[in-house]
């Protein structure tokens, strides 16, 4: 696996690959690599000649300084895992290499950013989109792979690529889970074994909603709230949204593609998950 810290050197390498007509798959990450990331890399390797992964803990993506400070930073371990996964190229820039100057772009994604994470993490999506745009312009991949766990992010990245009018196709990959159903996340490294057991109730609540979609949304939301409270989990939001627009729906009418999205805290650790009905 080749490792690059500077975009200038990476671009020199990429130019050779472009000349050789290699198809390039890209998996952007913020490090703390886990099985979910490795699944994205596996999907890329199935579909592309060359797989590139990036590790960049984006400071503009965190609206909470404590969350940024607590985010796991495990670069040496990440490199070993990525090399073992047969990732071809790793790009891990510092802030100065990726940004000419630290300025977060402002985007208009309409309804995609008006609810859920857009409300509770102000500025988050502008920070995320700024970095994704920079990375896509540097790497120019044919395919870029994102996990469905961050469903709102996935929809925003698709919109971003359409606005950029670039060739990259965004591929969403199903959420990879622990045996107990907990969605794989870098933040899981901050949880104890007992906390992971409790956190599995987030997914169990989603499954209950999917299996009982004949009930009203209000009843299902009340169930989620009480079930999570019972397991020491503080609910931040639960929303039933139309996937294309990420707007909340009032009823589970047929013909619409609906997802249920949850954000919650277990002590200081923020977890998100979703399920598609």
Residues belonging to the active site: 37
- For the chain, the farthest-separated pair of C-alpha atoms sits apart, in whole angstroms, at 58
Residue 122, Cβ density class (10 Å: 0-12 exposed, 13-18 middle, ≥19 buried): exposed
Provide the token pair at 58. Answer: 């984006």
Residues paired with 247 in a beta bridge = 242
CB 147 within 8 A of CB 40: yes
């Amino acid at each position: 696996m080749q490792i690059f810290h500077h975009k200038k050197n990476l671009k020199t390498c990429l130019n050779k690959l472009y000349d050789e007509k290699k198809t390039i798959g890209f998996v952007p990450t913020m490090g703390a690599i886990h099985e979910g990331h490795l699944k994205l890399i596996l999907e890329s390797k199935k579909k592309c000649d060359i797989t590139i992964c990036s590790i960049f803990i984006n400071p503009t993506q965190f609206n909470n300084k404590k969350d940024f400070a607590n985010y796991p930073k495990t670069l040496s371990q990440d490199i070993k895992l990525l090399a073992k996964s047969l990732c071809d190229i790793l790009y891990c820039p510092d802030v100065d290499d990726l940004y000419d100057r630290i300025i977060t772009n402002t985007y208009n994604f309409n309804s995609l950013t008006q609810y859920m994470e857009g409300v509770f993490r102000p500025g988050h999506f502008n920070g995320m989109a700024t970095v994704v745009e920079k990375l896509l312009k540097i790497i120019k991949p044919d395919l870029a792979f994102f996990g469905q766990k961050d469903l709102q992010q996935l929809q925003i990245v698709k919109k971003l690529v359409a606005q950029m009018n670039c060739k990259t196709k965004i591929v969403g990959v199903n959420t990879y889970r622990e045996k107990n159903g907990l969605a794989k996340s870098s933040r899981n490294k901050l949880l104890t074994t007992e906390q992971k057991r409790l956190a599995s109730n987030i997914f169990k609540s989603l499954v209950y909603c999917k299996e009982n979609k004949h009930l009203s949304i209000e009843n299902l939301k009340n169930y989620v709230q009480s079930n999570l409270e019972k397991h020491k989990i503080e609910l931040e939001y639960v929303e039933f949204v139309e996937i294309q627009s990420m707007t909340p729906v009032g009823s589970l009418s047929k013909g619409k593609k609906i997802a249920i999205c949850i954000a919650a805290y277990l002590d200081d650790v923020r977890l998100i998950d979703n399920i598609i009905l």
